[in-house]
Amino acid sequence: MLIYLEQEAKEYPLTKEILSRFSDADVVETWHYKNVFDKKIGYPTEKCLILAKSDRLKLFSVPENYGYPDCKAFFFVTQLNCVFDCAYCYLKGAFKNDFPVIFVNYSDIQLELRTKILELRHGWYKGKIVLYASNYSDLVGMESLSWFHQSFIPFFEQFDNVLMETRTKSGNIQSLLDLDIIPQNTEIAFSLNPQAIIESYEHWSSSLKSRISAIKTLQAKWWKVGLRFLPLLPVPGYVEIYEQFLRELCQEIDINNVNSIFLATLIYNKQDWITIQKKESDLPAGRQGFKLLKDLEVGEDGLVRVSAADREVFDWLFRKYFGDRVVRDYV
C-alpha cells in the first residue's frame, strides 16, 4: 500500500487511525494532495490512497430536476474516486487519475453542513433539506477505509426534516449494522441493474444478489432504503433484460416499504463525455472500452444522454412496475 499524506492532514484522528491500520504502508508526504491528484499517472493505483484536508467549500447546490423534488438539496464531498470501477463512471472524465482521496477533517465538513442547515432554518425555511453524500465515491464501498457512516449517520440525527442520501453498489453493510441504531435521517440508496449488466460494466461491485440481500436486511431492521435504477443502459435486448430483472426484483423486495425510487439513464456533461472517450482510446490493446458512449446524443442544453426514445421506453417499463412512485432523476 502506498499512502500520499498531505502535510496538513497529518494530525487528524482519522489519519492516525488509517496509518496505524496500514502500519507497513509506504507513506509519502506531499505539500498539497493536488500535487499527486492532478497528475496523469501511468502506474496501477488500486493499492494507493491519498489522505488530505478539505480546505475549501465542499457543499454544492444540486442541478435542477436532480433527486428529491420540493426540497433544498446539496451535494457534499468527503471523498473522491472509488473502490469500484464502473465502465460508465463520470469520475473518469472529472479527474485526471483514479487515486482514492479521503478528506480526513470530518469535523470541519460537519461544521460546514451544520452552518448551512442552520442558515436555512434561520431564514425560515422549514421544508425538507437533502444532502447527497455519494456523488464522488461509493462511501459504503469505502467504509472499511474511511468510517464515513460511523461518523456522519449519528451527526445527521440531531436535525429535523433533514435527510442524507448515500448511494451504493455494495452489499457489505456490516459496519452500518454495527452502529446499532435505526437512523431517521439517512437513506441507504442501492443502485441496481440486472446481473448481466453488473458483470459487464460494474467491475468489482457487489452482485445483484448481495445488494438485494443487504436491502432485505436493512428493511427488516427499519432502515430507510431507496432504490436507484441508474444508469439504465440500453444494451441490445434491454427491454426483455430489464423486464425480467424487475419481475424478479418485485418478488424479492417489499416495494411498499421502499423509501424512494429514482430512475436515470446515462448522462454526462459534454466535456466529461469527450474526456472519457479520449481515455478509452488510450486503453491498452485487449481492454475493451465502453461502447455505449459513442451512441449518446448531445442535447440542446449541452448535456449528453441516451436517445429520447430509449428514455421513454425505460420510463414506461419502470412505471409499469412502480407506477407514480418513480422519480425520473435529472432527465
| φ/ψ of residue 137, rounded to 5 | -175, 160
> Cα(179)–Cα(174) distance, rounded to whole angstroms?
9
188 belongs to the binding site for ligand SF4 (CB under 6 A): no
Q: All 3 cell numbers of residue 98?
A: 483514479
**Residue 87 or 129 having the CB closest to ligand SF4:** 87
C-alpha 65/C-alpha 305 separation (Å) is: 15
Instruction: Tell me which residues in 198-217 interact with ligand SF4 (CB under 6 A).
Output: 205
Rank residues 105 and 137 by Cβ distance to ligand SF4 and give the closer one.
137
- Show contacts with ligand SF4 in window 44-83 (CB under 6 A): 82
The cell numbers describing 3, all together, are: 499512502
Using DSSP's 3-state secondary structure scheme, residue 193 falls into coil
Identity of the residue, 5 or 304, whose beta carbon is nearer to ligand SF4 in the bound complex: 304
Q: How far is the CB of 141 from ligand SF4 (least distance, A)?
A: 7
Contact by Cβ (8 Å): 259, 183: no
Q: Which of 33, 49, 138, 152 binds ligand SF4 (CB under 6 A)?
A: 138
Q: Select the span of 11-19, 35-43, 86-94, 293-301 touching ligand SF4 (CB under 6 A).
A: 86-94
Among 8, 55, 85, 315, binds ligand SF4 (CB under 6 A): 85
Answer left, alpha or beta for residue 327, where phi above 0 means left and psi between -120 and 50 means alpha. beta
Residue 99 beta carbon to ligand SF4: minimum distance, rounded to whole angstroms: 13
What is the dihedral sign for C-alpha 113, 149, 13, 32? negative
> Cell numbers at residue 197, please?
449488466
Question: Is position 169 an interface residue for ligand SF4 (rule: CB under 6 A)?
Answer: yes
Q: Is 220 helix (H, G, I), strand (E, B) or coil?
A: helix
Q: What's the min distance (Å) between Cβ of 149 and ligand SF4?
A: 16
Query: Which positions touch ligand SF4 (CB under 6 A)?
Result: 82, 84-86, 89, 91, 137-138, 169, 205
